[in-house]
Structure 1
């Protein structure tokens, strides 16, 4: 019976938080089946209306439709990304083609498209609010982009392609998670991990214990190529093992090898793009982003690649000079870069970033850094709700209120890594805000911080502090977006705009009153010394050649794969050779500076939502750097500045063209110079 499935009834919890304690894996597929049926009935009711299409009889019920499906899907996919047990993975594999087929049945519905197109054709004669008008435009554009205007035969092939792609991308992520877990590096002797801090050793010992390897140490891998420990490990063989394990993921010839999977993904995406009238998948994707075309993306990436590669070579010479001073000199390799970068940082700036961890205790960073910046800037407050449970014991739930005391939503933090969690860090929504539906937002931040042994504090690296501030920027976007229609809720904006608010939120990390609040020594409570803060500022542009090059290399790989035509993608492609050729083409083929993601573990583009869109981080950073300049020019961490940013940018969600919203906030288009200066590319 429906009432026996908690996914098919109201949770009864505040803000519609799912009752995860009552949900079992066997509930998901029946709930999806019921939700698919309900959504199909709701859309059929719209298309059966005999009167001519209007906003009220078409768009409003369309926005009301699919509520159950959205609730079930967001509940499930939150779990499948953060706690993917074998049982959950099996459900996701079975679900992938079903979800794709259902989405196509809606997006490709000819009668629904006719109704929306009819309203769109009459837009200039209709009395609609700006949000309503933009809703019509977006539904029309998105359905056109999805293929709603194709004939029946083309739609049938398109549906088959989409279903197969959904299966392949799910398989890619499953393979990557399994291979990442298998390749976690096991050390038999603590001496091999010389250079790691006590908390890091504790986390490695705990990871080993969790795997039944008592008396050993296990270092789990990060999603990206590098690893935070590479900057600290003094033993070169340990660094080599760690990086080699990372770079071999998905390409070892075992059952988790992703090469065949990704090549089929590339071929099918190219075929789909051709079916939809585009020369490549990249052309298809960028046509409905702020970039507009792959040529615009390529122009930006090439413009930045030349000075980035030049700066990386200069940095490499500095590192090699340090190596040459050692008793046994050797040619610097990729696994040495981070370690000797810290030596140069120490020599040039008298700065040891690894030694800063005692000043970055996780709870203090969260409460007195991340939360305080949001409180000072936007007036919001955070109250932990231990009475509300998440989907895993590690999750923590906070209720968020506006400055006037009114309820805003829930924020959930899932900080620690585990074998069932995919790599990286991300934000997602469990409940979307909508005036039409009367719902408030529930958002989640996931990170992958190693969990120390019980009783020991969680000390973050500076990079992990940055990640927490960054992901919280996404969370604020999801919390603050205040729209009528769920189509525009939260972070439902163009992919190459979505990283902008999160990157802006990173600026508060070093803001004096915020830094002095959270960066206090775990034992003495002393603030981070002023001279260290000055050195951090002085070294901000240091190693940007490497950082920019590794990122641009990955962005270019994404574009290279997805710029292939259908004929080019159908050829016999060697993955490693293709990567090497693509990196040579843009001048980012320095062996000492590996791409941030190689193809076989590039989850962003082969199992996530960033296919042909990984460029969006640097694209958004143009806006971000320009916005940081605005905050500095206008007094920084002031409530009126926060209100302006919230009201004109974060608060509009996806209900307005993003570049128009930016101009409304900034008073002009963004300029690229602040980005070039930030990354040391100005010359």
Structure 2
């Protein structure tokens, strides 16, 4: 690593608008020294709280705790945004050194017995204190959070807990590094464009560009997506090309690879189970769900089992239909396999609904989808407007920055978009906050959306698939949550809600993709200017439950794997020696072991649960979809795309951040608890 310059821009508030980090001035060598200073400053701030001789109060304990750690928050958000989106070798080196340090620092605060005693003392007086609802919830959440972290344990247990947390931080970092490296190593190289018959000119151009970037001029490279399947499987005519891509995808970081995650997975699972037992829980799943809206792993498993049987039955019927297509159209029929599913699904889609998914792409030009779709829907619902700020650079040249204005013209915050895939970016799509809104700290929100759209060749337009469009609307739903949450205390800012409802706002935002006024505004042919034909739109809507047996089954399989791993006791986890065998047994247990419908993720590349924040929580997508589907029904019943509806949703749900119990907020918005019937109908699972 290069020598660290004398001036460190991370140690002073950014000179740029909204406190967005001045990435043009930041070098990798700045990060570790900035973290070291931030750790020390945070410890000093907390020590001042614990040394206070006065009896604990909200004003001398909770409020200064919310003010503490501002430098650390700023440095951490700046680093981890880059670490996920542009993890160069230098950044990965910082991450490896940082992981145990940040774990140790976090434990030094969350396990501080004196701080815990002060918070517990305020918590005991809660009913007699004159606090605002947000202040009261802050006391409750801080108390529960420290209890959940182990602050009430004895010294020996705390020492073991700290050792576990430190080791886990190293393992999860290693998991992500292995996955990124193996995904790059396993990108599939094709010698000629003929092997990729069925791809569009833009897709072929992108594959040729990816090959040139790797010094493979004249060849074509298909990079891998995070999930098991790949968008190209729906188009590739040659069966061997489909097989090669899916086999590469499913083998990432598997046993025997250069970047093997199998033993990493086993150790993570064992240590999480041991930690849960130290904290008084039967399993990591019990530990996690105890502080989520689900409450227990049994509630989660009950929902997953309830949905799995009808989903797998639908998938079997879909497979039979696909097999008939194979038998009727192929000169030499063959048994349908996983790499064939998407290709023949498109044939059925065309036969039954006359929809060619690949042929829709000319109507989904990326800039038009962003400006006239995503931004337009936000304007119609919430009155927002957007202005690009080329003067505010991001962490990579691909990043675009937009200033967001409220309906009254006041500045709301910043929105950053990082659209394209690259070797230094982790797979998938996500939202994160660079700056969280807080009245206490005087900060406005800065949010980031990352996608992994394949960059077209020079001079080619970026044409999105319908899945890409869905992802962009979805991630922007998270961005809206981060932009709208208006709270006093940073603990509740942005998307700081229970994990199993965090996907709720993002899933709701998907409803506007095919909403007539929004679709008509953005789905315009990028060459002719013609709108997406009305009959195509009608067929798209008619096909919304098409292939839902497959889609639901592959998701539920991944959610069940997550629960299966994290239901293990430490003793049982230690007995697992074969990751693949464990997966097979778990999927057989729930009846989701159809070979043609693989899990959305296998363990060695299940980044959400082994290197992200979704351990024992991947169920949250379907859990939140109950709220989402019920909310879509509310909008349909109350005028659809209206400012009144948008303002109500913003005020009562998005705007409260984590400062209110999410189910109470939902009841306030909906007037009742959510019902599951709309979800069952949407997924084609109703009786």
Shift of 1:10: 1.7
How many Å separate the matches in 1 of 2:172 and 2:225?
A: 20
- Between 448-457 and 496-505, the greater mean CA deviation after superposition: 448-457
Tell me the residue number matched to 1:636: 640
Tell me the residue number matched to 1:108: 111
Tell me the residue number matched to 1:551: 555
How many Å separate the matches in 1 of 2:625 and 2:22?
A: 38
Tell me the residue number matched to 2:518: 514
Listed one character per residue, the Cα deviations across residues 465-499 of structure 1 (whole Å, up to 9, x for unaligned) are 00000000000000000000000000000000000
Runs of 5+ unmatched residues, structure 1: none
Shift of 1:255: 3.2
How many Å separate the matches in 2 of 1:566 and 1:240?
A: 38
Is 1:197–2:204 an aligned residue pair? no
Shift of 1:632: 0.4
Is 1:353–2:367 an aligned residue pair? no
Listed one character per residue, the Cα deviations across residues 12-43 of structure 1 (whole Å, up to 9, x for unaligned) are 10000100000000000000000000000000
How many Å separate the matches in 1 of 2:176 and 2:616?
A: 17
Is 1:319–2:329 an aligned residue pair? no
Listed one character per residue, the Cα deviations across residues 364-418 of structure 1 (whole Å, up to 9, x for unaligned) are 0000000000000000100000111000000000000000011100000000000
How many Å separate the matches in 1 of 2:497 and 2:600?
A: 25
How many Å separate the matches in 2 of 1:3 and 1:262?
A: 41
Listed one character per residue, the Cα deviations across residues 437-471 of structure 1 (whole Å, up to 9, x for unaligned) are 00000000000000011211000000000000000
**What SS class does the counterpart of residue 37 from structure 1 fall into?**
helix
**Structure 1 outlier segments of 4+, above 6 Å:** none
Correspondence 1:191-230 to 2 at 5 A: 191-230=194-233
Q: Is the 8 A contact 1:2 1:9 kept in 2?
A: no
Is 1:98–2:101 an aligned residue pair? yes
Is 1:30–2:8 an aligned residue pair? no
Correspondence 1:143-182 to 2 at 5 A: 143-182=146-185
Runs of 5+ unmatched residues, structure 2: none
Is 1:400–2:404 an aligned residue pair? yes
Tell me the residue number matched to 2:568: 564
Is 1:538–2:542 an aligned residue pair? yes
Is 1:136–2:139 an aligned residue pair? yes
Aligned partner (choices 642, 659, 674) of residue 678 of structure 2: 674
**What SS class does the counterpart of residue 215 from structure 1 fall into?**
coil
Is 1:53–2:64 an aligned residue pair? no
**What SS class does the counterpart of residue 77 from structure 1 fall into?**
helix
How many Å separate the matches in 2 of 1:2 and 1:214?
A: 39
How many Å separate the matches in 2 of 1:299 and 1:572?
A: 25
Tell me the residue number matched to 1:620: 624
How many Å separate the matches in 1 of 2:78 and 2:363?
A: 36
Tell me the residue number matched to 1:463: 467
Is 1:490–2:505 an aligned residue pair? no
How many Å separate the matches in 2 of 1:173 and 1:135?
A: 33
Tell me the residue number matched to 2:532: 528
How many Å separate the matches in 2 of 1:643 and 1:573?
A: 53
Correspondence 1:240-639 to 2 at 5 A: 240-325=243-328, 326-639=330-643
Q: Is the 8 A contact 1:239 1:336 kept in 2?
A: yes
How many Å separate the matches in 2 of 1:593 and 1:514?
A: 33
How many Å separate the matches in 2 of 1:561 and 1:407?
A: 45
**What SS class does the counterpart of residue 496 from structure 1 fall into?**
helix
**What SS class does the counterpart of residue 26 from structure 1 fall into?**
helix
How many Å separate the matches in 1 of 2:290 and 2:190?
A: 49
Shift of 1:573: 2.4
Tell me the residue number matched to 1:239: 242
Shift of 1:252: 4.5
How many Å separate the matches in 2 of 1:179 and 1:318?
A: 35
How many Å separate the matches in 2 of 1:212 and 1:179?
A: 18
Shift of 1:256: 0.5
Shift of 1:2: 10
Q: Is the 8 A contact 1:305 1:588 kept in 2?
A: yes
How many Å separate the matches in 2 of 1:380 and 1:29?
A: 38
Q: In the comparison of the two structures, how many residue pairs are matched?
A: 683
Q: State the TM-score, normalized to the length of structure 2.
A: 0.99
**What SS class does the counterpart of residue 443 from structure 1 fall into?**
strand
Q: Is the 8 A contact 1:226 1:243 kept in 2?
A: yes
How many Å separate the matches in 2 of 1:593 and 1:136?
A: 46
How many Å separate the matches in 2 of 1:613 and 1:448?
A: 23
How many Å separate the matches in 2 of 1:667 and 1:655?
A: 19
How many Å separate the matches in 2 of 1:668 and 1:51?
A: 44
**What SS class does the counterpart of residue 282 from structure 1 fall into?**
helix
Tell me the residue number matched to 2:23: 20
Q: State the TM-score, normalized to the length of structure 1.
A: 0.99
Listed one character per residue, the Cα deviations across residues 588-637 of structure 1 (whole Å, up to 9, x for unaligned) are 00000000000000000000000000000000000000000000000111
**What SS class does the counterpart of residue 449 from structure 2 fall into?**
strand
Q: Is the 8 A contact 2:576 2:582 kept in 1?
A: no
CA RMSD of aligned residues (A): 0.8
Shift of 1:254: 3.0
**What SS class does the counterpart of residue 218 from structure 1 fall into?**
strand
**What SS class does the counterpart of residue 659 from structure 2 fall into?**
coil
Aligned partner (choices 183, 186, 189) of residue 183 of structure 1: 186
How many Å separate the matches in 1 of 2:230 and 2:59?
A: 53
Q: Is the 8 A contact 1:285 1:613 kept in 2?
A: yes
Q: Is the 8 A contact 2:313 2:549 kept in 1?
A: yes
